[in-house]
A = this chain, B = another copy of it.
Amino acid sequence: MESFEEIRQKDKVQVLPDFEKISIFNPLRIGVLFSGGPAAGGANVVAGLFDALQQMNPKSVLIGFLGGPSGILEEKFRILSKEEVDRVRNLGGFNLLGTGRTKIESPLQFEQAKEVIAKMKLDGLVIIGGDDSNTNAYFIHEYLKKNNVTCSVIGVPKTIDGDLKSKEVEISFGFDTACKVFSTLVGNICVDAMSSLKYWHFIKLMGRTASHVTLECALQTGVNIALIAEEQLSLKDIVSQITDTVEERARQGKNYGVILIPEGLIEFIPEVAKEIPEELLQDKDSHGNIKVSQIETEKLLSKMVIDELTKRGSSVKLNPIHHFFGYEGRCSYPSIFDATYCYNLGINAAELIKAKKSGVMATIENTAKDVTHWKASSVDLKLALVEELRNGKKKQVIAKALVNLSGPVFKAFLKARESNRLKDNYLRPGPIQFSGPGASAITHTLFLEQQYPC
């Protein structure tokens, strides 16, 4: 019997109308790399790129840099074969090449990268990454241009966090799948809470800084409480509100519930940071970010709620169960949406290189509609840059999109918030499906943002 993995690889992915015919062209030599945390669908960007290049000219060469941007600096790469690409097609993750967080940012590194790119005679370099990686893509493009090396640098918007978006970038790939994986699990836990009748589940969800993932999962599952970091409540208010809900539900005979906590909460609440040992806060990654996934906010909060119940002299006994979902959602089989989106982003990257565009991000418009309405596009990375303080230094970066508290997604959440708090309005989206009705569903976030643009 074929394994499900084998079956998935053969799945056809729909191509958007622009790409139904790809014209013949000179052979191109293109490099591609993954940067930062993995996201489902990454392999399909490479597959789209590979297939488009082959259709343009079978003599084209696609070179994969290994282990992230350091693959350029260390000249670690591999020419990709059809067999290799076919093995990961429609499957999740960045395992084809591996990824890494090394940044190309020092003058020496820029020079090194330029030398390698020139030596390898690359017509294009495709950088699949998040905000930091796309910022990087822009500066590599600038450096190459200044030094008269003709190589198109194209960014591809990736991040499960969903914070790489703007008017031009409707959604980053990986967000759809990650939210669906997490919502499957959260939905299962909601039913467990209603079945077991005795646990409060404190679930932390991955998503550095912004709370898009938590907001989307709250809409998909109808949990009792979802903390949205951007609301910037004080720790005292958060604990007090959770405790109120725990007590009110207990009065209704419901000694159970489900709470979603965004990983980035800690960045918005200075008091939380005070509760964390100093050494943890100093342990920042190379982008100057706190390693928030290491901080057990979920345990901190449940402990504080128990303390608050005691302080109030409440008879309610909280039985907390803690979860953190993150890694399991980054390399899932991509949802139909992500598989399709990524494959077309890959083709688009090839077309942009063919058109000699550089310093741009490959994008697609109308993604909330059926694929037949999708439109290939691109956005100038320079226009996306803003000045920010990083590690105390001014830097040009692509700004992270935070949850818009007057946007349609947060409004939809607010509408149900009070009812969800006390009632069991739980929804169970169930596991991601690849066929049958519902398989092509998009996130509430994408739907609402496109339906009601601010």
Of A42, A67, A321, A327, most B-chain CB atoms within 10 Å: A327
CA distance A44 to B252 in the complex (A): 28
Partner of A327, one of B192, B328, B329: B192
Which B residues touch A427, using CB under 8 A?
Answer: 3, 5
Which B residues touch A7, using CB under 8 A?
Answer: 436-438
CA distance A372 to B93 in the complex (A): 39
Assess whether A407 is interfacial by the CB under 8 Å rule.
Answer: no
Q: Contact between A195 and B331 (Cβ–Cβ < 8 Å)?
A: yes
Q: Contact between A197 and B328 (Cβ–Cβ < 8 Å)?
A: no
Q: Contact between A197 and B98 (Cβ–Cβ < 8 Å)?
A: yes
Which B residues touch A38, using CB under 8 A?
Answer: 191-192, 195-196
Which B residues touch A333, using CB under 8 A?
Answer: 428, 430-431
CA distance A331 to B193 in the complex (A): 9
Contacts of A321-347 to chain B: CB distance below 8 A: 321, 323-324, 327-333
- Please tell me the number of chain A residues within 8 Å of chain B, measured between CB atoms: 56
Partner of A432, one of B42, B428, B431, B436: B431
Q: Contact between A99 and B195 (Cβ–Cβ < 8 Å)?
A: yes
Q: Contact between A321 and B332 (Cβ–Cβ < 8 Å)?
A: no
Q: Contact between B189 and A331 (Cβ–Cβ < 8 Å)?
A: yes
- Give the Cβ gap from A441 to chain B, nearest Cβ, in Å: 8
- Give the Cβ gap from A415 to chain B, nearest Cβ, in Å: 17
CA distance A197 to B93 in the complex (A): 12
Q: Contact between B93 and A194 (Cβ–Cβ < 8 Å)?
A: yes
**CB nearest to A437 among chain B residues:** B7
Partner of A195, one of B93, B185, B328: B93
Of A93, A99, A100, A181, most B-chain CB atoms within 10 Å: A93
Which B residues touch A438, using CB under 8 A?
Answer: 1-4, 7
Question: What 0/1 pattern do residues 16 to 60 of A give for CB contact below 8 A with B?
Answer: 000000000000000000100110001000000000000000000
Known: A327-B189, A328-B185, A437-B2. A195 touches B431 (CB 8 A): no
- Give the Cβ gap from A2 to chain B, nearest Cβ, in Å: 7
